[in-house]
Structure 1
């Protein structure tokens, strides 16, 4: 094993030990010595890790007592995981039903840091196409069906910021790579209530995606069906898209969505 990698792993382990140690003590503010003694670490090593945690906003130090305690950032991370698990738990039966109906892979994705993150996948038993849609994988918003749906939450200024930070890279010859093309596509999606990825992210793969709303009537996720273009013909999509819209609507209702506003009218 690479000695540098081993050292890095040990450092990561010690950092986690500090977080768990403080949490186990009810997040009571503790002195450097208390933490070092409790973890059998040298004060200098402990201080180095504490400083890193402070720099990353996971820890705070009282300037008067010099004692350390965890911030609420760790709770924010936990809440994101909890929210993902809640959505996935509600979505899984629906995803299985959609998978059985289409005979293709079904994905659930949300936005994180201006990217689509896949938080749930149900694979068809005979699925041969190797796509990038795996739990935890990320994809650009502008080139995926779910991503374009999530972009409907963006103002034009936010889209400008996305382009400035992420760009609109061409993943295939079919990818939308200009702001005008993207804005025109988003206007079309807003009217029709669903989005396509027609080999824009991966050659040979076609996808249809529908929005998932929560109780604030905001699109918080996208539910998509992906398969090879040889099976995911537009005729097949037209045949099943109403069913998919209904399932997206059903999941949205489970999350408290109201039909009074939003994209959610069925077509």
Structure 2
């Protein structure tokens, strides 16, 4: 410890030293802990009892062994919850746009529609994309929608699909519940959603999930391109790989630990 530190700062340093020592062990005796943090047992005991009274430390059956409890985890989770998801996603979306030269979307589901919550447009190519932040889009003619439905439980999925009014946008648009359910199963198998000229001729979109710290899908990330720039399986796989890396980074930054 720095003896020249003000008393309050020294106390904070001691508390964090104790927390870090506790984090390294499932439980630890006070004698071992005091040696690790280089403070007298009596001082360590006072801090531990205060931390115990605040609910951050457990004492094993009134023995001399102490451990951290889940209150600290709750604090950490609250920090993660307050992270600016859109700011984090926007940065990774811009990196992906710059790498692929394609338009990137972020969307969430609301009922049987998707809502665009962010868009980073390609600066190099002109696509006839009418999407705007805040706009809704049909869930069945979208790679984003397919991702946001595919991993729902069967009851929730069927309840949403039975209310869909299937409208044909192109000759490739899915037009029945049965075909859509089959498509969602395929999405689960391959791990990404695809709109292959289903909403607009000449346009191909790929989408992948974004996970929160609990492992739940909270949004979908997509990449939109022209059929002329993505004309082979190799082209598709390259773009999907880049998309997956960006989505994985966003998920990691908001607390998902695979």
TM surpasses 0.5: yes
Q: 1:241 & 1:163 partners in 2: Cα distance?
A: 26
Deviations 1:25-57 (A, max 9, x none): xxxxxxxxxxxxxxxxxxxxxxxxxxxxxxxxx
Aligned counterpart, 2:153: 155
RMSD of aligned residue pairs (Cα, Å) = 2.0
Alignment of 1:160-239 (within 5 A): 160-234=158-232, 235-239=234-238
* Partner SS, residue 198 of structure 2: coil
Q: Which runs of 5+ in 2 are unaligned?
A: 1-80
Preserved contact between residue 226 and residue 232 of structure 1 (Cα < 8 Å): no
Preserved contact between residue 151 and residue 188 of structure 2 (Cα < 8 Å): no
Preserved contact between residue 148 and residue 217 of structure 2 (Cα < 8 Å): yes
Q: Which runs of 5+ in 1 are unaligned?
A: 1-82, 260-267
Moved over 4 A (4+): none
Alignment of 1:55-74 (within 5 A): none
Preserved contact between residue 111 and residue 160 of structure 2 (Cα < 8 Å): no
TM-score by length of 2: 0.64
Q: How far 1:212 moved relative to its partner?
A: 0.5
Preserved contact between residue 146 and residue 209 of structure 1 (Cα < 8 Å): yes
Q: 1:233 & 1:84 partners in 2: Cα distance?
A: 41
* Partner SS, residue 117 of structure 1: strand
Q: Could you say if the C-alpha distance between residues 95 and 114 of structure 1 is closer, same or farther in structure 2, counting changes exceeding 3 Å?
A: same
Q: 1:144 & 1:172 partners in 2: Cα distance?
A: 13
Aligned counterpart, 2:27: none
Preserved contact between residue 107 and residue 117 of structure 2 (Cα < 8 Å): yes
Aligned counterpart, 1:30: none
Aligned counterpart, 2:22: none
Preserved contact between residue 112 and residue 161 of structure 2 (Cα < 8 Å): no
Question: Which structure has the larger Rg?
Answer: 2
Q: Could you say if the C-alpha distance between residues 177 and 150 of structure 1 is closer, same or farther in structure 2, counting changes exceeding 3 Å?
A: same
Alignment of 1:26-175 (within 5 A): 86-175=84-173
Deviates further, 169-178 or 140-149: 169-178
Q: How far 1:174 moved relative to its partner?
A: 0.9
Aligned counterpart, 1:257: 256
Q: 1:252 & 1:87 partners in 2: Cα distance?
A: 9
Q: Could you say if the C-alpha distance between residues 85 and 177 of structure 1 is closer, same or farther in structure 2, counting changes exceeding 3 Å?
A: farther
Deviations 1:108-149 (A, max 9, x none): 111123211111111111231121322111111111011000
Preserved contact between residue 205 and residue 222 of structure 2 (Cα < 8 Å): yes
Aligned counterpart, 1:56: none
Aligned counterpart, 1:74: none
Q: Could you say if the C-alpha distance between residues 119 and 243 of structure 1 is closer, same or farther in structure 2, counting changes exceeding 3 Å?
A: same
